[in-house]
């Protein structure tokens, strides 16, 4: 395996080199980099042209320029990258450093969101093949897939951002809105949960009634401007998680599991108050430390109190502790929301990846960036949702008729075990490949998304670079996306080898 | 506003425009009655002319106003190098570096009393006296003096060299030749004079205050006095270190605010913070001695033009300059009372130029040019494409003056008799038949993609094909690099934009000049330009402008179409936002913007 | 290692077997007919075929194609006076419902800023988009499946070389490569050139998928059997392996066609795709994206057409996959499912 990985690494480097040469040659031939100056009638035009020729090295043949670029990139080994200058003499490496952060944040989030949602939807539609759910979800994913990104972005801004901002100023639901939401939610829930006609009716009635009651209640609480969870909410929800985790792993009567899990909830309750001050304005460092503690405590408790069931006790405790940590964090975010709203009365801006001069607490700036990230991430994720869900569906159906699945069913295994443990695991093999190039593809998609949301990320770097026939920024863009693509492809290959033993490497 | 960028070299655009400017130097001109100067804006003090309004005795209000003119990033405090010299950088540097003069909303030149005064004391040789405001100081408290003018002169002086190469990497290189002796006056004083070697009609817009000389001198290891002496003595070697600092010392990576101890402000604002790719924030300069900035913070966001309307609607931006399209205007109108829309003209104008290269069917045949001019539907083009954006738009009948400028009517009535106002298909057809040229191909070239030009060509085709031409759209991405220089066109469709100089049109219409792409040649036109460029008398300049226009119409050098429309919009509660046709963008009076009290 | 004579004998054995199968196929139901029958029974797919065909016929007959004039008398290049702000004259609401009656009118889809007939423009755009999509889909599918199958079957150095070439293309993000090529090819003004170029960069995903499938398939018994019978490599690839990956290919080809339409849209938005004065649906949308609140017809017509084409193509692919893959079809599923 090690040899395989090393060989792939070497091949990857060669591929990057070849692709960079290919792209460079294409870029050099993509047009006339001096076009705008030829159009100019500035009296110092010749001087400007001379200057640009100097910055871009246009007086040298293209292979020499490529070689200079390559030599600069080679310096990256000593962490001293020289990516050249753009046509007006600005260092590309400093441009890239600024651009890469926001783009990677966007793309990673969108990929994860799309993969998780897409695989879930794919499994669901495969299990319910040719049901109403299958058709409507298929239709919806195709619809998202078929949307032109930039146009959808304008719509999102119009209805989600501006609409939400108008609404949050004085959040209220009209009775008609409540009724429609309730009916819609009830309808969706019965489609998702399915079952016999009576069961569907019951699901519909229960969910619709739930929404119809909860929305006015939340509005009465002014929840949308002053959301609250509180200590009580955290503990009650955590207890629910604790009990269900115990029930599924060993059964509620099993004290070897129940006690360490309950002890975890107790520890979490103490931690809630102990860290309260700290959590009001933490740093990423403190958050990481607290998360480590949230992992350590249930592990220790499970090992000490779990006896011969310490494995299950640790697992259930871990689930409980993570849920509790999440809820506590959510509680603090809720507490920060009113302050955030007073700092930024219109929470979702239509441009930029953060608000200029935003001086708030940790959670307030977290919310600011989150609000800015929301629309582009949602858009990118929705668009790539289709490929994940379709491939998962196809793959699940394919796997579903293999002999070993039939065998598993014949053994009398529960449907859930068959689908999740046997079918999904194998169906995920092709998905690994999809994810690998979808990631790189999404960086490409980010080119358009960034343009519409006014982000100055790598997409912008590429777009202006190509427009101005300026190879340096385009090559810098490629360096990041290409490396990411190569790495992810390699991971996919390795995963292939691990997941499917039939493939000899 | 304060036009530091306005030396000849900086000129992005072509021509003239300001034949009129010399007519009203400094003094309050009459308010332009032109509807297209476009202003339905809201003011705290109503402006009386196209220059800055006098806000009187005000104090800086807290709060911030966010504006955007496009997505391009701020580059450097030193916007006078070719690398950083563009409109996006200027919107920042012009707020923090004042000049002796600035352009009003119609392109007229105004003096900036906060900095001082300019006065012509002699015509021959041309001698200009500058007086600096006694209160004027840099943001570190150092007075602004003649030494700063010496720096401004030195860095535009290509004769200061080491090994034959100019030491300053500046966009302007010719002031050393124009004013060989440099600013005359006590280096630490507040008065100096310039003596020009040749008459220069554009003397009023020279940049003589740019950067702090004491900082450049200090970074170059010299005292200010030594620096001034070395510069006036032409000692390039001694200044080399200082010049090196000037060339690169103020440049920082995107997002890093240049050291406030070095990047001094002489304007109402100074740089406060800078988030790469997002925005740059300016804050009121506490050392500013003039009328204080009306609002404490000014946020300039780098947002693409097509995001502007929604951002304005969502109050992410307060002042925007989106692309002028029919839909932008309609969208803005849809926002109702939340916004103020300021439509108007810009100092760019669209035109059709014939190809006068040897052997071209149009260049050698005035009748054919006339037939084509008769069938171009100029009014329809303006009505369909421009009026929806700028209701005051009109067909342009001159090249050297714009319809919204004072002398336009005068120049047009002297040069053009309305013969091509209405489309005359029959007339064009008759000429083509006489010339035995029915069915002649007309290749119209332009820089593609450009939807508006595509539309213009389509409309010309619809009309002229009826007269017997065969119009062919040869718009391409190679227009400026191949089509135009190779002469592979019959009619070229493009725009010139004016930089505010009086003399730059010579480069376009005189024989053999670099921007004379159509290879037009007429000795009378050449002579008229020489006369204009060497005269300091506004009356002579106007006379020559009329003569040139008349000759160009008679020869049908080309057909002017319209001034490009522009759109500015602002939130309804921001006062004093004013559109300008000049290149200084809507931010030209940003220090006067003020949020209306609720 | 069989001797030459034996191999030849084995090959002829395989062919004889095939011939026998073919013979039997004539009397019973052939694989192709089965597929066709299943496809015809797929309602969503058949509806999509109808929609797609209707759009294509409308687009190609209305304004004519390749010099042949169509039945619509207005041109997509000719400017005219803008009537009534360019609003569409099409009305589908009958008078008794408060509408203006069923009317086609002078400019059913309205006019653009210069008064060009928007119906003609949209039809021209649809022609271009369909042409681009089909060419891209075909080129990408052919290259992708052949490269993938050959690499997966031969493995070894053939696989290495082919997959490294694939990687070379895959490593440059699709939109980036397409944009650069589009900028180069776009100047030529020929949509077919643009389509071919796009096809040359969009086959990589399929190649990898097919290779993955083939790597699995070639370990199956029927391949060993074919090999044992002495079938040639090309025969195994084209007759045994590729037909078995048809599900993957069909799904991918539909995505490729739909994706090509959207790729062209993005490219045109960025300014690297089809350029004025020619027209494509993507170009129309990007030209009028800011018009959606003010002159909505300028967006909705091309937008809905793109959506209709992309959706119908996707559903056709869905139907195809089901047809090729009977075990996943509705009937089989129903029979196989036993409800408690």
Helix (H) or strand (E) holding A279: helix A276-280
User: Alpha carbon B251 to chain centroid distance?
Assistant: 25
Which of B22-36, B69-83, C221-235 is most confident? B69-83
| Closest by CA position to B295, among listed B591, B589, B96, B43 | B591
* Tens-digit pLDDT profile for residues A223-272: 888 888 888 889 999 999 988 888 877 778 888 888 888 999 999 999 99
pLDDT value of position C27: 45
Residue B242 has pLDDT above 90, yes or no: yes
> Is this structure's pTM higher than 0.80?
no
Instruction: Count Cβ atoms within 10 A of the Cβ of residue C95 and give its class: 0-12 exposed, 13-18 middle, 19 or more buried.
Output: exposed
Q: Indicate yes or no: CB of C80 within 8 angstroms of CB of B451.
A: no
B330 to chain C: which residues are within 8 Å by CB?
291, 293-295
B313 to chain A: which residues are within 8 Å by CB?
162, 350
In angstroms, the separation between the Cα of residue B451 and the nearest Cα of chain C is 7
Residues B71, B75, B76, B79, CA torsion sign: negative
Q: Indicate yes or no: CB of A43 within 8 angstroms of CB of B302.
A: no
Q: Are B11 and B499 in contact (CB under 8 A)?
A: yes
Other residues' Cβ atoms within 10 Å of the Cβ of residue A94: 17
CB neighbour list of residue A284: distance below 8 Å, 6 or more residues apart: none
C276 to chain B: which residues are within 8 Å by CB?
448-451, 454, 475
pLDDT value of position C274: 77
Q: Are B458 and C79 in contact (CB under 8 A)?
A: yes
Q: How far apart are CA A18 and CA B369, in angstroms?
A: 54
* Tens-digit pLDDT profile for residues A100-138: 888 888 888 888 888 888 888 888 888 877 777 887 887
Helix (H) or strand (E) holding A433: helix A425-453
CB neighbour list of residue B199: distance below 8 Å, 6 or more residues apart: B123, B124, B126, B534, B535, B536
Torsions phi, psi of B295, nearest 5?
A: -125, 140
Residue C7 lies in a domain: no
Mean pLDDT of chain B: 85
Given the candidates 3.40.30.10, 1.10.3720.10, 3.90.1150.10, 3.10.105.10, the CATH classification of the domain at B346-564 is 3.10.105.10
**Mean of the pLDDT values across residues B443-471?**
86
The residues in C 131-170 lying below 8 A from A, measured between CB atoms, are: 160, 164, 167-170
B458 closest CB neighbour out of C77, C187, C275: C77
* Tens-digit pLDDT profile for residues A394-438: 788 877 777 777 787 777 777 777 777 777 777 777 777 677 667
pLDDT value of position C54: 92
| Closest by CA position to A86, among listed A99, A102, A77, A75 | A99
B388 to chain C: which residues are within 8 Å by CB?
113
C38 to chain A: which residues are within 8 Å by CB?
none
pLDDT value of position B39: 43
Residue B147 has pLDDT above 80, yes or no: yes
C79 closest CB neighbour out of B328, B450, B462: B462
| Closest by CA position to A374, among listed A283, A453, A460 | A453
The residues in B 60-119 lying below 8 A from C, measured between CB atoms, are: none
pLDDT value of position A44: 61
Q: Are A211 and A236 in contact (CB under 8 A)?
A: no
Residue B50 has pLDDT above 80, yes or no: yes
Tell whether C314 is within 8 A of chain A (Cβ): yes
Tell whether B443 is within 8 A of chain C (Cβ): no
Helix (H) or strand (E) holding B29: none
HEC letters along A302-356: HHHHCHHHHHHHHHHHHHHHHHHHHHHHHHHHHHHHHHHHHHCCCCCCCCCCCCC
Tell whether B380 is within 8 A of chain C (Cβ): yes
Q: Are C257 and C133 in contact (CB under 8 A)?
A: yes
Residue C16 lies in a domain: no
C82 to chain B: which residues are within 8 Å by CB?
384
Q: The domain B116-265 belongs to what CATH superfamily?
A: Dipeptide-binding Protein; Domain 1 (3.90.76.10)
Subunits close to C (at least 3 CB pairs below 8 A):
A, B
Q: How far apart are CA C108 and CA B557, in angstroms?
A: 42
Residues A283, A286, A291, A294, CA torsion sign: negative
Q: How far apart are CA C196 and CA C259, in angstroms?
A: 14
Residue B12 has pLDDT above 80, yes or no: no
C208 closest CB neighbour out of A143, A433, A462: A433
3-class DSSP assignment, residue B130: strand
Q: How far apart are CA A291 and CA A387, in angstroms?
A: 34
DSSP 8-state class, residue B264: -
The beta strands (E) that lie in B13-81 are given as: 61-70
Tell whether C255 is within 8 A of chain A (Cβ): yes
A357 closest CB neighbour out of B273, B507, B508: B273
**Mean of the pLDDT values across residues B157-171?**
88
Instruction: Count Cβ atoms within 10 A of the Cβ of residue B574 and give its class: 0-12 exposed, 13-18 middle, 19 or more buried.
Output: buried
Bridge partners (DSSP) of residue B446 are none
For C163, the domain range is 37-78+116-331
**Mean of the pLDDT values across residues B375-403?**
89
Residue C14 lies in a domain: no
pLDDT value of position B317: 93
* Burial letters A352-374, b for 16+ CB under 10 A, else e: bbbbbbbebbbbbbbbbbebbbb
**Mean of the pLDDT values across residues B440-465?**
85
Residue C89 lies in a domain: no
Q: How far apart are CA C323 and CA C327, in angstroms?
A: 9
Residue-level pLDDT, tens digit, chain C, 340 residues = 344 444 444 445 555 655 555 555 444 456 667 777 877 887 778 888 899 999 988 888 887 777 677 777 777 766 666 666 667 777 666 666 665 666 666 777 877 766 778 888 888 888 888 888 888 888 998 999 899 888 888 888 888 888 888 878 877 878 888 888 888 876 555 778 888 888 888 888 888 888 888 888 888 888 788 888 877 888 888 877 887 787 778 767 877 887 787 788 788 777 787 776 677 887 787 777 767 777 778 877 888 888 888 888 877 877 777 776 655 444 333 333 333 3
CB neighbour list of residue B496: distance below 8 Å, 6 or more residues apart: A41, B13, B14, B15, B348, B349, B351, B508
In angstroms, the separation between the Cα of residue B381 and the nearest Cα of chain C is 9
Nearest chain B residue to C184 by CA distance is B477
Q: How far apart are CA C310 and CA C312, in angstroms?
A: 6
Q: Are C264 and C274 in contact (CB under 8 A)?
A: yes
Helix (H) or strand (E) holding B455: helix B451-467
Residue C140 lies in a domain: yes
Q: Are A338 and A225 in contact (CB under 8 A)?
A: yes
Bridge partners (DSSP) of residue B151 are none
pLDDT value of position B20: 26
Q: Are C311 and A143 in contact (CB under 8 A)?
A: yes
Torsion from C-alpha of B398, B404, B406, B409, nearest 10 degrees:
50
Q: Indicate yes or no: CB of A34 within 8 angstroms of CB of B481.
A: yes
Domains contained in chain C, number: 1
Tell whether B507 is within 8 A of chain A (Cβ): yes
Q: Indicate yes or no: CB of A143 within 8 angstroms of CB of C311.
A: yes
Tell whether B310 is within 8 A of chain A (Cβ): yes
Interface A–B counts its CB contacts (< 8 A) at 145
Q: Which range is least confidently modeled, A464-473, B143-152, B501-510?
A: B501-510
C184 closest CB neighbour out of A26, A451, A478: A26
Q: How far apart are CA C257 and CA C318, in angstroms?
A: 13
Q: How far apart are CA A31 and CA B477, in angstroms?
A: 8
Residue B569 pLDDT level (bands cut at 50, 70, 90): very high
Helices (H), A57-174: 62-74, 92-127, 132-145, 149-156, 163-168
Q: How far apart are CA C171 and CA A481, in angstroms?
A: 8
pLDDT value of position C280: 80
User: Alpha carbon A379 to chain centroid distance?
Assistant: 11
Q: Are C128 and C274 in contact (CB under 8 A)?
A: yes
Residue B397 has pLDDT above 90, yes or no: yes
Residue B27 has pLDDT above 50, yes or no: no
Q: Indicate yes or no: CB of A89 within 8 angstroms of CB of B83.
A: yes
Tell whether B335 is within 8 A of chain C (Cβ): no
In angstroms, the separation between the Cα of residue B170 and the nearest Cα of chain A is 10
| Closest by CA position to B331, among listed C93, A350, A447 | A350
* Tens-digit pLDDT profile for residues A51-96: 788 888 888 888 888 988 888 888 877 777 777 777 777 778 877 8
| Closest by CA position to B520, among listed B397, B363, B360 | B363
Tell me whether strands B295-302 and B61-70 are parallel, antiparallel or unpaired.
parallel
Residue B279 has pLDDT above 50, yes or no: yes
* Tens-digit pLDDT profile for residues A294-351: 999 989 988 888 888 888 888 888 989 999 999 999 999 999 998 888 888 888 888 8
pLDDT value of position C9: 46
Q: Are C282 and C307 in contact (CB under 8 A)?
A: no
Residue B476 has pLDDT above 80, yes or no: no
Nearest chain C residue to B465 by CA distance is C78
Tell whether B306 is within 8 A of chain C (Cβ): yes
Alpha carbon of B515 to those of A43, A45, B335, B575: distances in Å? 9, 10, 43, 41
Q: Indicate yes or no: CB of A430 within 8 angstroms of CB of C255.
A: no
pLDDT value of position B232: 93
Longest dimension (CA), chain C: 85
Q: How far apart are CA C165 and CA C172, in angstroms?
A: 12
- Residue ranges covered by each domain of chain B: 116-265, 346-564
pLDDT value of position C82: 67
pLDDT value of position B379: 92
pLDDT value of position B430: 92
Tell whether B264 is within 8 A of chain A (Cβ): no
Residue B553 has pLDDT above 60, yes or no: yes
Torsions phi, psi of B441, nearest 5?
A: -80, 135
Bridge partners (DSSP) of residue B128 are B120, B194
* Tens-digit pLDDT profile for residues A203-229: 899 999 998 898 888 888 888 888 888
Question: By percentage, how much of chain A surpasses pLDDT 90?
Answer: 9
Question: By percentage, how much of chain A surpasses pLDDT 70?
Answer: 95
């Amino acid at each position: 395996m090690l040899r395989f990985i090393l060989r792939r690494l070497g091949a990857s480097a060669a591929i990057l080199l070849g692709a960079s040469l290919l792209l460079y040659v294409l870029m050099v031939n993509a047009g006339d980099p001096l076009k705008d100056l030829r159009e100019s009638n500035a009296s110092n035009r010749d001087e400007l042209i001379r200057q640009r020729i100097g910055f871009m090295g246009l007086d040298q043949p293209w292979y020499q320029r490529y070689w200079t670029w390559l030599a600069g990139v080679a310096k990256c080994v000593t962490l001293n990258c020289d990516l050249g200058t753009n046509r007006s003499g600005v260092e590309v490496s400093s441009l890239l450093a600024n651009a890469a952060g926001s783009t990677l944040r966007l793309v990673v989030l969108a990929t994860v969101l799309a993969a998780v949602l897409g695989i879930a939807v794919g499994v669901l539609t495969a299990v319910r093949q040719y049901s109403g759910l299958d058709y409507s979800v298929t239709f919806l994913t195709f619809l998202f897939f078929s949307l032109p990104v930039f146009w959808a972005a304008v719509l999102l801004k119009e209805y989600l951002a501006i609409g939400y901002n108008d609404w949050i100023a004085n959040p209220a639901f009209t009775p008609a809105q409540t009724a429609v939401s309730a009916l819609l939610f009830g309808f969706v829930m019965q489609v998702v949960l399915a079952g016999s006609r009576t069961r569907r009716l019951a699901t519909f009635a229960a969910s619709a009634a739930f929404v119809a009651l909860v929305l006015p209640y939340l509005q009465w609480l002014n929840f949308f401007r002053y959301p609250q969870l509180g200590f009580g909410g955290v503990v009650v929800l955590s207890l629910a998680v604790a009990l269900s985790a115990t029930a599924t792993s060993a059964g509620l009567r099993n004290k070897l599991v129940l006690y360490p899990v309950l002890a975890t909830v107790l520890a979490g309750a103490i931690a809630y108050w102990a860290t309260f001050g700290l959590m009001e304005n933490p740093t990423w460092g403190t958050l990481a430390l607290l998360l480590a503690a949230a992992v350590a405590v249930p592990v220790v408790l499970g090992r000490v109190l779990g006896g011969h069931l310490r494995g299950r006790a640790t697992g259930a405790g871990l689930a409980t502790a993570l849920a509790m940590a999440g809820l506590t964090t959510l509680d603090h975010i809720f507490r920060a929301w009113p302050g955030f709203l007073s700092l930024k009365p219109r929470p979702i801006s239509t441009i930029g990846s953060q608000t200029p001069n935003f001086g708030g607490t940790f959670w307030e700036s977290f919310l600011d960036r989150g609000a800015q990230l929301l629309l582009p991430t949602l858009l990118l994720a929705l668009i790539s949702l289709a490929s994940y869900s379709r491939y998962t569906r196809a793959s699940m159906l394919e796997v579903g008729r293999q002999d070993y699945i039939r065998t598993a069913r014949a053994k009398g295994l529960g449907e859930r075990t068959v689908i999740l443990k046997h079918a999904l695991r194998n169906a995920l093999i092709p998905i690994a490949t999809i994810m690998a190039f979808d990631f790189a593809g999404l960086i490409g998609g980010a080119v358009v998304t960034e343009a519409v949301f006014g982000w100055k990320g790598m997409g912008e770097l590429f777009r202006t670079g190509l427009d101005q026939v300026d190879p340096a920024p385009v090559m810098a863009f490629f360096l990041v996306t290409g490396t990411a693509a190569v790495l992810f492809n390699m991971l996919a290959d390795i995963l292939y080898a691990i997941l499917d033993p039939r493939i000899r490497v | 506003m304060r036009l530091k960028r306005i030396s000849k070299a900086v000129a992005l655009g072509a021509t003239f425009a300001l034949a009129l400017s010399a007519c009203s130097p400094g003094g309050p001109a009459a308010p332009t009655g032109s509807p297209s100067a476009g202003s339905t804006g809201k003011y705290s003090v109503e402006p009386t002319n196209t220059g800055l309004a006098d806000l009187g005795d005000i104090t800086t209000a807290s709060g911030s106003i966010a504006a955007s003119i496009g997505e391009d990033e701020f580059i450097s405090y030193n916007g006078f190098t070719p690398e950083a010299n563009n409109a996006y950088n200027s919107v920042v540097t012009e707020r923090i570096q004042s000049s002796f003069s600035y352009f009003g909303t119609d392109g007229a030149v105004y003096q900036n009393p906060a900095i001082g005064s300019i006065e012509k004391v002699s015509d021959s040789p041309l001698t200009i006296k500058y007086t600096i405001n006694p209160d004027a100081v840099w943001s570190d408290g150092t007075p602004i003096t003649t030494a700063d003018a010496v720096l401004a002169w030195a860095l535009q002086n290509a004769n200061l060299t080491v090994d034959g190469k100019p030491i300053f990497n500046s966009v302007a290189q010719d002031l050393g030749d124009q004013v060989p002796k440099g600013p005359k006056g006590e280096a630490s004083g507040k008065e100096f004079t310039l003596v020009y070697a040749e008459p220069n009609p554009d003397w009023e817009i020279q940049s003589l205050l740019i950067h702090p000389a004491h900082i450049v001198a200090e970074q170059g290891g010299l005292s200010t006095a030594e620096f001034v002496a070395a510069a006036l003595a032409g000692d390039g070697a001694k200044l080399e270190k200082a010049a090196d600092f000037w060339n690169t010392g103020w440049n920082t990576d995107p997002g890093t605010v240049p050291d406030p101890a070095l990047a001094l402000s002489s304007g109402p604002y100074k740089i406060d913070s800078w988030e790469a790719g997002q925005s740059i924030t300016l804050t009121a300069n506490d050392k500013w001695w003039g009328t204080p900035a009306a609002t404490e913070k000014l946020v300039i966001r780098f947002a693409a033009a097509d995001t502007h309307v929604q951002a304005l609607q969502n109050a992410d931006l307060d002042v925007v300059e989106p692309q002028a399209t029919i839909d932008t205007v309609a969208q803005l109108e849809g926002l109702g009372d939340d916004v103020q829309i300021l439509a108007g003209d810009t100092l760019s104008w669209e035109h059709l130029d014939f190809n006068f290269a040897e052997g071209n069917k149009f260049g050698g045949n005035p009748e054919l040019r006339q037939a084509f001019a008769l069938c171009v539907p100029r009014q329809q083009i303006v009505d369909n494409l421009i009026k929806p954006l700028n209701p005051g738009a009109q067909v342009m009948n001159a090249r050297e003056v714009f319809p919204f400028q004072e002398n336009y009517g005068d120049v047009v009535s002297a040069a053009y008799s309305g013969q091509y106002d209405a489309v005359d298909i029959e007339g064009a057809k008759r000429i083509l038949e006489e010339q035995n040229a029915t069915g002649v191909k007309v290749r119209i070239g332009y820089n593609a993609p450009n939807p508006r030009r595509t539309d213009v060509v389509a409309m010309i085709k619809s009309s002229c094909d009826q007269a017997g031409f065969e119009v062919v759209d040869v718009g391409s991405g190679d227009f400026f690099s191949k089509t135009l220089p190779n002469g592979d066109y019959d009619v070229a469709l493009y725009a010139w934009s004016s930089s505010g100089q009086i003399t730059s049109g010579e480069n376009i219409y005189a024989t053999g000049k670099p921007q004379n792409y159509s290879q037009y040649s007429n000795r009378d036109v050449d002579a008229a330009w020489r006369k204009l460029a060497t005269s300091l008398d506004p009356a002579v300049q106007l006379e020559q402008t009329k003569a040139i226009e008349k000759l160009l119409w008679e020869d049908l050098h080309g057909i002017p179409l319209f001034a490009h429309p522009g759109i500015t919009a602002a939130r309804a509660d921001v006062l004093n936002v004013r559109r300008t046709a000049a290149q200084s963008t809507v931010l030209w009076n940003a220090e006067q913007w003020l949020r209306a009290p609720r | 290692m069989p001797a030459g004579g034996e191999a030849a004998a084995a090959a002829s054995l395989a062919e004889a077997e095939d011939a026998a199968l073919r013979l039997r196929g004539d009397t019973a139901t052939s694989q192709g007919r089965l597929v066709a029958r299943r496809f015809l029974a797929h309602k969503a797919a058949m509806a999509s075929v109808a929609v797609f065909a209707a759009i294509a016929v409308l687009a190609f007959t209305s304004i004519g194609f390749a010099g042949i004039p169509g039945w619509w008398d207005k041109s997509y290049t000719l400017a005219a006076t803008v009537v009534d702000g360019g609003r569409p004259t099409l009305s589908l609401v009958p008078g008794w419902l408060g509408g203006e009656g069923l009317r086609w009118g002078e400019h059913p889809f309205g006019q653009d800023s210069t008064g060009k007939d928007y119906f003609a423009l949209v039809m021209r755009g649809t022609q271009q988009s369909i042409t681009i999509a089909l060419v891209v889909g075909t080129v990408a599918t052919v290259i992708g499946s052949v490269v993938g199958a050959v690499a997966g079957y031969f493995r070894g150095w053939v696989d290495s070389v082919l997959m490294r070439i694939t990687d070379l293309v895959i490593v440059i993000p699709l939109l980036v490569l397409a944009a650069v090529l589009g900028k180069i090819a776009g100047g030529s003004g020929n949509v077919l050139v643009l389509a071919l170029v796009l096809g040359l960069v969009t086959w990589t995903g399929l190649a990898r998928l097919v290779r993955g499938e083939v790597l699995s398939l070639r370990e199956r018994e029927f391949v060993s059997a074919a090999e044992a019978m002495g079938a040639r490599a090309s025969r195994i690839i084209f007759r045994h392996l590729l037909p078995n990956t048809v599900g993957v290919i069909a799904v991918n080809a539909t995505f490729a066609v739909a994706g090509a339409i959207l790729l062209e849209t993005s490219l045109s938005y960025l300014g690297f795709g089809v350029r004025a004065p020619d027209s494509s649906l993507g170009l129309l949308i990007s030209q009028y994206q800011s018009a959606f609140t003010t002159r909505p017809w300028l967006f909705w017509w091309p937008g809905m057409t793109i959506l209709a084409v992309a959706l119908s193509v996707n559903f056709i692919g869905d139907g195809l996959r089901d047809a090729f893959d009977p075990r996943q079809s509705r009937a089989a599923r129903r029979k196989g499912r036993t409800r408690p």
